[in-house]
Structure 1
Amino acid sequence: MRDPKRMFGRWPLLLLVVLALLPRPLAGESRADTLNARLDAVVAQAVAENRIVGGVVVVARDGQVAYRKAFGLADREAGRPARPDTLFRLASMSKPLVSAAALALADQGRLSLDDPVTRWLPYFQARLADGSPATITVRQLLTHTAGLSYGFLEPPDGPLARAGVSDGLDRPGISLAENLRRLATVPLSFPPGTDWGYSLSIDVLGAVVAAAGGGELPEVVARVLTGPLGMADTAFVAASRERLSVPYAAGPGGPHRMADPEVMANKASGVRFSPSRATDAQAYPSGGAGLVGTADDYLRFLEAVRRDGGGVLAPQTARAMTANQIGDLRPALAGHGRGFGFGAAVLVERQAGQPANVGQWAWSGVYGSHFFLDRQAGLSVVVLTNTTPDGMSGRFPAEIATAVYAADATP
């Protein structure tokens, strides 16, 4: 796997390059024509160049679906085409959903963002490197300022690996509680609230959501979020094996069908995937990486956030999700000029030549997907693919964003 910082951080530079090469819209060309033509060209080229095996792109402008198409193959070996209702492993695109479930419970008075984690998980006793106790709050879990980490960001023999902690993408054969107990034995990377570090904090948050919601995490998420929004295909276990896409990983000869397990190396260590986790009802529900869903379902969620909560979140809560919550911290992993809201990165400093507006809320999933919501432009964009890492970072997401914003600029 490519270096995580480079995977996210190259977006602005690539956008500048793509924008410089982008022709002006033809005279008389409508926004709809421009959007269809440019996105059709982007996805066709990605498939033709063997960068992406298959996927679905859905774009909504001011609440109306402006583009909705599947492309390529959901299963290359079987010749099964991708369809709009194809299911994809959401990986870290699970994080905004579980974060929203926590915020919905806060709106209901079931928990407070300033609650210490130990109120809900007494066994999760965090400590600093010197052994002194540390208090982590729900808010710090939501913003990745808790001091936790991910194993794939550490060396192969790092503290999380030595403690046997799962990153939520493999099948370790243990419960969520056991994984978090192991995580709690690892000293924090920094005192909570003092820095930003991408981490297992949303897995911890998932356990808090379950405890505060009075049920197992899948049931609570369905009750407070996906059920009310009509997201019938979004769950921790695939709703249909027949509609589930096959995952592919980039390699020297192009994308190959993922093994189980599959380890993709990066500069630190590697990401361990177990694609069969998506159909394993016994696997623990990873709040940070475990959901499966469709592009249509994810669009429903983004539109609820864009429309000030859509009935599942209070308006001020939905606005807070897409507002910077970490002050002057600037996570390198999130890309240039970005802070972090609840569940995803927020553009706080517009870069020269970058089409996104300040306030754009965006994140991606390591199986090969990404989204962005631009409230100022009225845009909600979901791109789910079955190819990692090209569906989540680099040229393809930059081309998608450029095509969408170019069409939006068309008179």
Structure 2
Amino acid sequence: MWPIERGFSRRAVLARSAVATLVAAAPALSGPAKSAYTADQRRLRLDRVIDRAIAERRIVGSVVLVMQDGEVVYRRAAGHADREANRPMREDAMFRLASLSKPIVSAAAMALVERGRLDPQDPVTKWLPDFRPQTSDGRVPAITIHHLLTHTAGLSYGFLQPPDGSYQRAGVSDGLDRSGIDLDEEVRRIAAASLVYEPGTRWGYSLATDVLGAVIARAAGEPLPDALRRLVTAPLAMADTGFLVDDGARLAVPYLNGKPEPARMQDPQLVPFRGAGIIRMSPSRVFDRASFASGGAGLVSTASDYARFAEALRLGGGPVLKTSTVQQITTNQIVDLSPTGLPAWGFGYGAIVLKDSVLAKSPQAAGTWTFNCAYGQSFFVDPQQKLAVIAFTNTALEGGFGAFPVEIRDAVYGRGE
């Protein structure tokens, strides 16, 4: 996502649209949360939000899990995992994570930092010697691991570029299609495309986490899926989280916003992303061993597995990370997202971070970290309220960037009706 810059009005519009959808799809209500809000009221509100979204045919199915101070206070599967087959949603349903992959892969990178294998200030060329993308005037600026972790590396996404952009010309994959190329080739293509800004000067949502995945593989001395398993998912007993699915029996069928109801995704499916471009999505990618493991968009998981990850970081990171490392992931590492029209929000080492609740008009406390994704998933962790909220759906884009995640959030805090 491009920040606003003089002479690039289309990029500015795309940036505002795409980044805004990452943190909120509808305005929050202002004012303090209801102090007398009870657990029973919360459950009823959450049930109403989910039931209404399904009845209004905005989503097909969902799994919502809320943890408060380490206890599961709400868990529900609703709707259909496969509407046409009349297969109900299950609590252990598996979902394509798209961008919710980024926090997990970033945590793996930080685990290597703890082990002395990586340093955020390392140049990417220490691990990927041929990764030398150029600016428009032909210079090759230094890109660091810090730039990759914070999405300040000067990279982009193909769907955020015009149809004749450098990513399209280089054949770069956004990590959601069946590319049929390995990770080394993907990184080579990204390096062949032009940088869209000087690294370190601004924030732009991008394929940085895919490049980070290649760095992790080199630094760990093993393929990215193996490194991620060893560093993060195995220690946290996230047995259902990985880049490939062998048995699709528990996999939720993905759907796309439509009238009068969401449409079953085709393969491939061209998905208009709220005015910011067209994403090419191939649901069958999770079975395709020929396509690279996308650190920014390729994981599959369950709501329970993701809750394990979110809670582990909320509680300090053990057994994966130290508390000081978790603070780097969940604390703003840039100025803010003002260039994209979101001054209340920042970005840590792999997560969007709330800086100012009042400015954001959000019931979440400052320090809340979050992410949404194109396949219809969202989560947030509010450390002050000791909350972890996982809201997975199988409906793009409503489940990730529509009213649904905002309604779930407000129901958790007792806001609105």
Q: TM-score, normalised by structure 1?
A: 0.93
Unaligned regions of 5+ residues in structure 2, if any? Answer: 1-12
Q: Distance in 2 between matches of 1:143 and 1:126?
A: 18
Give % identity. 50
- The residue that corresponds to 1:299 in the other structure is 307
Query: How much has 1:173 moved relative to structure 2?
Result: 1.2
Aligned pair partner of 2:189 in 179, 182, 189? 182
Unaligned regions of 5+ residues in structure 1, if any? Answer: none
Alpha-carbon displacement from aligned partner over 1:177-212 (angstroms, at most 9, x marks no partner)? 111101101121111100000000000000001111
Instruction: Please give the residue correspondences for 1:199-278 in structure 2 after superposition, counting only pairs within 5 Å.
Output: 199-238=206-245, 240-266=247-273, 267-278=275-286
Instruction: Please give the residue correspondences for 1:6-405 in structure 2 after superposition, counting only pairs within 5 Å.
Output: 6=17, 9=20, 14-16=26-28, 31-238=38-245, 240-266=247-273, 267-330=275-338, 332=340, 335=342, 337-351=344-358, 353-405=361-413
- The residue that corresponds to 2:4 in the other structure is none
Q: Which runs of 4+ in 1 moved over 6 A?
A: 22-25
Q: Distance in 2 between matches of 1:14 and 1:273?
A: 25
Change (3 A) 1:331 1:381: farther
Query: How much has 1:377 moved relative to structure 2?
Result: 0.7
Q: How many residues align?
A: 401
Q: Distance in 2 between matches of 1:308 and 1:259?
A: 41
Q: Distance in 1 between matches of 2:14 and 2:395?
A: 16
Q: Distance in 2 between matches of 1:230 and 1:31?
A: 32
Change (3 A) 1:155 1:103: same
1:7–1:393 contact (8 Å) kept in structure 2: no
Query: How much has 1:332 moved relative to structure 2?
Result: 2.5
Equivalent position SS for 1:381? strand
CA RMSD of aligned residues (A): 2.2
Query: How much has 1:300 moved relative to structure 2?
Result: 0.4
Equivalent position SS for 2:338? coil
Letter in 1 for 2:330: T
Letter in 2 for 1:384: F
2:14–2:160 contact (8 Å) kept in structure 1: no
2:155–2:196 contact (8 Å) kept in structure 1: yes
Equivalent position SS for 1:398? helix
Q: Distance in 1 between matches of 2:14 and 2:81?
A: 26
2:225–2:242 contact (8 Å) kept in structure 1: yes
Query: How much has 1:252 moved relative to structure 2?
Result: 3.4
Query: How much has 1:310 moved relative to structure 2?
Result: 2.0
Query: How much has 1:120 moved relative to structure 2?
Result: 0.6
Q: TM-score, normalised by structure 2?
A: 0.91
